[in-house]
Chain A
């Protein structure tokens, strides 16, 4: 089950996912149709539909409050949907909660480790919930601690761990039953850049082993790094769907020119920039010009005698896609 596929990351990203190449008969591990969840008057998830084939890394990208976590909870069979249908491994999580959850590994948004137990005991105890015998759990726990780079912390108390370590332990815990589907809700929120990179590396390895990853994030770089395919969610609805590259191609230009004229002028400069690039976006702190060639656009700006305080040419990202789709920034 843990035999790695020896493919490099580059190969992986050019090849969307393993199962897709397996032929026409696509095997979906998750299928959601018109999934809806309301809390009183508030509609958290508003009729979303998607399907995830085995082995794919599938992302839900959206700002806080978009309905990502609620969707994850419904997939995990811990939150009852209001309407619509949902099938995980061919089972309805509402009627077959234990059976569905037995297939899953779950990394919730907030760590809920048992802080009164030692690091290794957290893994053992969690494995017991799946009825796994200690003869399996003891070596498995050591294996996972090594995977999570926590071997030397095995006997520590959980509250002595850093945020990144806790997160890795939560991921290790979610793997104790060797799930083929892993749900990750905001896996790296609140971590420092180094801790995030370690985590991404671990998730890559799982992907290489053919584990289906479902993850929510509001970080576009995370979505671009990890996801084969993603849906952009806002206010409980799907705004767009596709691979990160195809979304950028469809909703943005190749490059973006970011200009800052100082907070006073940003708002009024729009008219003077008219006609440069394909599209113009004015934000409170900067102006974005979408163009195929950013350098050329910058030359045009200079030619008009405009002198921005700073200028930057970069490639388009999912952030731009989101801005285009919703008119709002992803991270407020």
Chain B
């Protein structure tokens, strides 16, 4: 006998084959304890689920784009420039392979840490849902970052396999460049995320970032030719560019590019420093913005 006026939830209990009479949420105290401990992971899971919805696009952008460049430049353009002396004794393909890996991660960062952040605060306000749950603003920020980090790792790994199949990563340490790319993505992306979290009105700031920051960094970071073949007037762009620091580091690992050890350390310090600073700023900005 079904009582029509009884709440649907309770009669589901009577009818359901799983007999969810035992269906009970754990206590709020347990919820809170788990959220305090694992909250960042919970939010990361959400971002990854959303990403899964356009996984194909992610693969095309993250892998298809650098591979297309690799083909066009490393194979096509190489016919014009393949004087190995200019590229430290390796083929042009091996020279640009790590650079494209790093650039792809940085460009992914420029996408993942701009519009989705704005979406979280302003357009579809996706951050405010979890914010009403036991998660803290810091955890929401960290969860988002963790999910994107996983994307960096995944797309860099796939790209690296392609590079290895091309035979363009002669050193046995080449796989480390996957980690370098992830680090470079974070060191460019996290300060950008802090900026994105501070934007209240969309006035085309992100288009400006793409055109006046990302594109110049991509073009003037020793990506397609050694940085010192540029005049000093634009060479400095490379020195402050996560792409250049990441690329040089990637070259050290993928083909044993020789540079002073101190410079190698400087690359690592620069990238880690920028990432950590960006992470701190982002967390602060999230607390401020969500707590209003």
A residues with a Cβ closer than 8 A to B are: 1-4, 6, 39, 76, 78-80, 89, 96-99, 101-104, 106, 108, 110, 112-117, 121, 125-126, 128-132, 136, 139-140, 142-144, 146-147, 149, 173-174, 176-179, 205, 208-209
- Number of B residues near A (Cβ < 8 Å) is 48
Q: Is the CB of A97 within 8 A of B136?
A: yes
Q: For B28, list chain A residues within 8 Å (CB).
A: 89, 99, 102-103, 177, 179
Shortest Cβ gap from A175 to chain B (Å): 9
Q: Is the CB of B32 within 8 A of A102?
A: yes
Q: Report the Cα distance A96→B35, complex, angstroms.
A: 12
Q: Report the Cα distance A176→B42, complex, angstroms.
A: 15
3 smallest beta-carbon distances between A and B, as pairs: A131-B34, A129-B133, A106-B132
Shortest Cβ gap from B28 to chain A (Å): 4
Across the interface, name the chain A residue whose C-beta is closest to B13.
Answer: A2
Q: Report the Cα distance A103→B28, complex, angstroms.
A: 5
Interface centre among B34, B45, B132 (most CB of A within 10 A): B132
Q: Is the CB of A102 within 8 A of B12?
A: no
Q: Is the CB of A132 within 8 A of B132?
A: no
Q: Report the Cα distance A80→B50, complex, angstroms.
A: 30
23 examples of A-B residue contacts, CB within 8 angstroms: A1-B25, A2-B9, A76-B132, A78-B128, A98-B32, A104-B132, A112-B124, A112-B127, A115-B124, A116-B53, A126-B130, A126-B133, A128-B46, A129-B46, A129-B134, A131-B31, A132-B25, A132-B26, A132-B31, A139-B20, A143-B20, A177-B31, A209-B7
Q: Quick one: given A78-B131, A110-B125, are A142 and B12 in contact (CB under 8 Å)? A: yes
Q: For A146, list chain B residues within 8 Å (CB).
A: 8-9, 12
Q: Quick one: given A80-B291, A112-B124, are A129 and B43 in contact (CB under 8 Å)? A: yes
Q: Is the CB of A4 within 8 A of B133?
A: no
Q: Mark B172-209, 1 if CB is under 8 A from A, else 0.
A: 00000000000000000000000000000000000000
Shortest Cβ gap from B36 to chain A (Å): 5
Q: For A139, list chain B residues within 8 Å (CB).
A: 16, 18, 20, 23
- 15 new A-B contacts, CB < 8 A, other than A78-B290, A130-B35, A177-B133, are A2-B7, A102-B134, A112-B124, A112-B126, A112-B129, A114-B50, A121-B49, A128-B42, A129-B134, A130-B134, A136-B24, A143-B12, A143-B13, A147-B9, A173-B129
Q: For A147, list chain B residues within 8 Å (CB).
A: 7-9
Q: Mark B127-163, 1 if CB is under 8 A from A, else 0.
A: 1111111111000000000000000000000000000
Q: Report the Cα distance A139→B24, complex, angstroms.
A: 11
Interface centre among B16, B25, B50, B130 (most CB of A within 10 A): B25
Shortest Cβ gap from A3 to chain B (Å): 6
Shortest Cβ gap from A327 to chain B (Å): 31
Q: For B45, list chain A residues within 8 Å (CB).
A: 125, 128
Q: Quick one: given A112-B124, A128-B42, A129-B43, are A208 and B7 in contact (CB under 8 Å)? A: yes
Shortest Cβ gap from B23 to chain A (Å): 6
Q: Quick one: given A116-B50, A131-B42, A139-B23, are A78 and B132 in contact (CB under 8 Å)? A: yes
Q: Is the CB of B34 within 8 A of A130?
A: yes
